[in-house]
Amino acid sequence: MIELYYGPTANGQRATVILEESELPFRRHPVDLAKGEHLAADFLALNPVGMTPVLVDGEGPGGKRIVISQSIAIMLYVAEKAGRFIPGDAYRRAQMHSWLMFVASDIAMTSGTLFQLTLVGSEPSPPHMEHFEKRLGRFFVACDRQLDGREYLVDELSIADFALFPNVAARKVLIDRYGPMPNLAAWSERMAARPGVARGMKP
């Protein structure tokens, strides 16, 4: 059985969305970040970095228990195990990896920085917030262009779409502020309408 330790954030949602969509059985273990549960000894034993999400599969490759952190690595693991959402075609697969890295290192990072700024000082600094919001807006415009004439980022539905969705859902306001982004807005509605995505987005 797969056990998932997660917080109700975009990183956690990436894991719950791919698990719900893959239809593999799993058990949810919410981790209360506000209470510091991610820094408790039992959680640090799973991930010494003290970050959610973490997936534990008692029946990993070769029947061995495996512990995986990093939301994108979790998505790749689950999709591979389920045999879904990873293009069979090498060209599309390479494109999917490119979008996954963009989500992980640029989109999620910038969105995470915006959240971190709200934790520093009594008021988030407006120039810093604006800088990172503009940057994220620019990244969303790139996604909108990629989706022009396509239903999904690499033409077929893949984990790149599931990886991106939680960040777009969390920062929807930027679509209008730095848009118009009609392709990204329509894609977002298509993604939100999927029952697996809807279940995965619930805390």
Ligand X SMILES: N[C@@H](CCC(=O)N[C@@H](CS)C(=O)NCC(=O)O)C(=O)O
Residue 30's H or E segment, with its range, is: strand 26-30
Based on the shown chain and the rule CB under 6 A, indicate whether residue 117 belongs to the binding site for ligand X.
no
Choose the stretch contacting ligand X; rule: CB under 6 A; options: 70-78, 142-150, 182-190, 192-200: 70-78
- Helices 10-22 and 108-117 cross at an angle (nearest 10°) of 140
Whether residue 175 contacts residue 181, with contact meaning beta carbons closer than 8 Å, is answered with yes
Count helices and strands in the chain by DSSP H and E runs: 10, 4
Query: From the CB of 50, what's the least distance to ligand X, in Å?
Result: 5
Residues between 5 and 24 with contacts to ligand X, criterion CB under 6 A: 7, 9, 11
Among 8, 29, 19, 23, smallest CA distance to 166 is for: 8
Based on the shown chain and the rule CB under 6 A, indicate whether residue 52 belongs to the binding site for ligand X.
yes
Number of shown-chain residues binding ligand X (CB under 6 A): 13
Whether residue 20 contacts residue 199, with contact meaning beta carbons closer than 8 Å, is answered with yes
Choose the stretch contacting ligand X; rule: CB under 6 A; options: 50-58, 60-68, 75-83, 131-139: 50-58
Based on the shown chain and the rule CB under 6 A, indicate whether residue 71 belongs to the binding site for ligand X.
yes
The binding site for ligand X (CB under 6 A) comprises 7, 9, 11, 33, 38, 50-53, 70-72, 112
